[in-house]
Amino acid sequence: MPGPDDLRVLHIITRLIVGGAQENTLFTAIGQHNTKGMRVTLLAGIDDGPEGNLHDRAHQAGLDLQLMRELVRPIAPTTDAVAFARLCAFIRRGRYDVVHTHSSKAGILGRIAARAVGTPIIVHTLHSLVFGEHAAPWKNALYVRLKKLCAPMTHKIISVCDATKDGAIAAGIGTLEQHLTIYSGFHIEPFLRVRDALPVAEAKRRLGLAPEHLVVGKVARLFPQKGHDHFLAAARLIAAREPRARFLLVGDGILRADLEAQTRQWGIRDRFVFAGLVAPPDVPAHIQAMDVAVHTSIREGLARVIPQASAVGKPVVAFALDGTPEAISHGVSGFLTTPYDAPEVADRVLEILDDAPRKRAMGEAGRAFAGANFPVEVMVRRVNEVYHQLAAQHLDHRHAA
């Protein structure tokens, strides 16, 4: 049973789908739930998209998961007003010591609500920058203004990579002292162990591939921001030059039919495996089937699949965007390419496929880096340290006398 001085923590996120920001939030909450002296609740909106959700994993971990239908991702003034009122009531009723918000909408509504009801400690995580050249100017201006509004009521702003932190500071969001970077950790042991438990040839066989096939893979939701069009363009070039090449897409989403149609139009559908939505415990085995992992997202904080692929021992080729250069040592654990340049991606992938010793060396370098920097325990410990530092400043009255 929780004691009277347990730190009461509420995490808020708009949706708990299968995705990097959501897994980061869930893993943090579960890690804290298993930490003595912390009482944790996770509040999420409801999203029934094709990616699947993480609700069962939260329940299986014994986490107090609460759902709020009005907490939606799109801008919806009437629904947002209802969500704000419900958030105020929820936070007031829970008497939380810490409100930790994730994602833009939850970060705006949640922080204002927490401030309105007098929450002592407010923390926000930037999983990526919602503003930038990918968004409409009016939306950029709105989000930047709202984030600037919320910054003074936030004690700490955590970013999942230095690039996100630096982008926020450059936009005038918060002060330098408010910001810090904590890499997005994950349960790394299954990724480190899979190569000992599952030979590459067997991993390929399970997907209908032959041992001699050279597999180029991507793990991501099939959504526009993930850059699958660039992956397909590179795959077309690779397929023309390497007859043994096969392409593995892990994930599902609204673009699946379009992507399959494109591969048929180009005459390379038989070179592709669309694995669809894969249960998280099965992701390491799918990565094990790859010879090279590719990430062509056009907007990301720091994609979790990069250190995941590295932990399995796979070289990664990715656009030099956002936090990706922090996870790939160019020429050592993989290659960074010019953003949106599919021919360069193809060239780098073929360079690795043509040099087996270098492929192995890159894989080993990536494993060492991922193992040191991305275990979920490291992330949880660092977030807890932030809480306790802030608690020492703002909650001394709880331990007085």
Q: How many other C-beta atoms can be found within 10 angstroms of the C-beta atom of residue 159?
A: 27
Q: Which pLDDT belongs to residue 131?
A: 60
- List, in sequence order, every residue forming a beta bridge with 375; answer none if it has no partner: 186
Token pair of 55, please?
Answer: 């609700």
pLDDT of residue 400: 40
- For 272, phi then psi, to 5°, come to -110, 145
Backbone angles phi, psi at 41, to 5 degrees: -125, 140
Give the C-alpha separation, 50 to 221, whole Å: 9
Short-list 238, 333, 240, 232, CA closest to 274 = 232
Instruction: Compute the radius of gyration of the chain from its Cα atoms.
Output: 22
Residue 84: how many CB atoms within 10 A of its CB?
A: 18
As a whole number of angstroms, the distance between CA 65 and CA 44 comes to 8
Tokens of 45: 């909106």
- Residues of the chain with pLDDT below 70 are 1-5, 48-50, 131-135, 396-401
**Closest listed residue to residue 283, CA positions, set 46, 14, 20:** 20
Instruction: For residue 215, list its beta bridge partners.
Output: 246
Of the candidates 68, 90, 70, the one whose C-alpha atom is nearest the C-alpha of residue 80 is 70
Sequence spans of domains, the chain: 7-185+375-399, 189-373
Kindly report the length of the chain.
401
pTM reported for the whole predicted model = 0.84
**Can 7-185+375-399 and 189-373 be said to share one CATH topology?**
yes
CATH superfamily of 7-185+375-399: Glycogen Phosphorylase B; (3.40.50.2000)
The class of domain 189-373 in CATH terms is: alpha beta
